Chains A and B, each alone.
Chain A
Amino acid sequence: MSFFSFGQSAEIDVVLTDAETRKKAEHKTEDGKKDKYFLFYDGETVAGKVNVTLKNPGKRLEHQGIKIEFVGQIELYYDRGNHHEFVSLVKDLARPGELTQSQTFDFEFTHVEKPYESYTGQNVKLRYFLRATVSRRLNDISKEMDIVVHTLSTYPELNSSIKMEVGIEDCLHIEFEYNKSKYHLKDVIVGKIYFLLVRIKIKHMEIDIIKRETTGTGPSVYHENDTIAKYEIMDGAPVRGESIPIRLFLAGYEMTPTMRDINKKFSVRYYLNLVLIDEEERRYFKQQEITLWRKGDVVRKSMSSQATIGAQRFEGSKSSVSSVLDLKCRA
């Protein structure tokens, strides 16, 4: 459009004050590609400069106002027209007038609340971005810059193990146990399957991690299930009294924290699915929800303290450890 205009046009770009020092995080885009974006936490200030560069030096740029917005929004793919904004901040940079030369404007959004984690899923997307706009009569000039937000949690005070006896009457009784109900994204699931009664011919057993993305409310709820991992834990036929250990490292899988009813629009939940397969390929399974959370980066401890941990006896999984660093930043 501006190609054919005889008037002035401009380019905008947004540069963060701490662009050199701020960490970037990888985030998947809608088409599956991975890109890096500046990483922010709840409560952090978002500050920088907006550069408006005139394309034809010497000509003036008339405008109806220049502003920058910080937006957090949820977009449901089946309802693209409606963006649900849960954070919307504006800073006016210039009143309606004209620019005679390229100009730079400072901005600062102080201690911005970012209550949810950035998420790009199968049917819904939650994103945060800065949008700088030069308003004009016919067409605005605007530029968006996406950022990624991570929500951090500390070690939960209550983190009971999951222990349950399940089965089919007179055919198969097992007791399964997972050492925790809440795991951080780089945690290890330690557990065991104990066989109480085995009257079927089992061929092997696996544990799957299933991610369920739920969008919509009421009658139009839609669940999208995705098997993130399949991990064989037993090959061969077990008998009564046998105990099969589980040790599943989560760091190798691409997962997000558990997100429950985000802004009443969507949820992302994770389930462990224990599957037993018999010789005729019949499948027996038990699904159990686990809560995933994101731990902040912690300074590595010395080797000697790591050795001490190895020597201790852990009974059950009561984790009453207070966090090493509280990373829910409040500047």
Chain B
Amino acid sequence: MSDPTVADTRRLNSKPQDLTDAYGPPSNFLEIDVYDPQTIGVGRNRFTTYEVRMRTNLPIFKLKDSVVRRRYSDFEWLKNELERDSKIVVPPLPGKALKRQLPFRGDEGIFEESFIEERRVGLEQFINRLAGHPLAQNERCLHMFLQDESIDRNYIPGKPAWSLPKGL
């Protein structure tokens, strides 16, 4: 008869782990790089774009390796879409820097190298945080932002991420 006064603290039995699981690549691989800022256009019509490269092995993303070009306002669009349509608390974007867009500055304003670098880092943090969110991964707008060549602002928002627009 087992003695109840001394608790048995030995580990519960568990299945031994499969070695391919133990040493194989993890199923949560997701890395997004925001890099190579390019300022396009002239004078007052200039704007900066960034390359957004995603590498992943998550099944929910159609492409395992994708590259697109995006500008700051595209990131803003994504933030607004998610704040409106989902219950996610969306991470903050780096600032709009309206002051830098005023005339008569001594420097290049929003095309100043140090500012672009600061913004690039902030955008990279933003998109990595967001793309790893299980709920964000269900939203069509995130997939369009990361993997479609251009953003169709007339898209039909929705989940699941695979929903096709009507008519197709």
Contacts and interface: CB of A to CB of B under 8 A. Distances in A.
Interface of A: 155, 168, 170-172, 177, 179, 187-188, 190-192, 194, 197-201, 237, 239-243, 245, 247, 278-280, 282, 298, 300-301, 305-306, 308-309, 312, 314, 319, 321, 323-324
Contacts of B17: 241-243
B21 A239 contact: yes
Contact of B134 (A168, A243, A306): A168
A296 to B, nearest CB: 11
Contacts of B9: 188, 190, 247
B114 interface: no
19 contacts: A171-B134, A179-B12, A190-B8, A190-B12, A191-B12, A192-B11, A194-B15, A198-B28, A200-B134, A201-B30, A201-B132, A237-B26, A242-B17, A243-B15, A279-B132, A282-B133, A321-B2, A324-B4, A324-B5
Q: Classify the secondary structure of B's interface with A.
A: loop
Contacts of A298: 4-5
A314 B1 CA distance: 12
A309 B14 CA distance: 21
Contacts of B18: 240-241
Interface string B6-26: 111111101101100110101
Q: Classify the secondary structure of A's interface with B.
A: loop
Interface in B106-145: 129, 132-134, 137
Nearest to B5: A298
| A-B residue pairs, 3 tightest by C-beta | A243-B14, A241-B17, A241-B21
Contacts of A237: 26, 28
A240 B132 contact: no
Contact of B1 (A177, A201, A321): A321
A198 B3 contact: no
A243 B11 CA distance: 10
Interface residues of B, number: 32
B26 to A, nearest CB: 5
Contacts, number: 93
Contact of A239 (B27, B30, B58, B129): B27
Interface in B21-65: 21-22, 24, 26-28, 30, 58-60
Nearest to A312: B2
Given A197-B27, A239-B26, A278-B132, A192 B14 contact: yes
Contacts of B60: 170
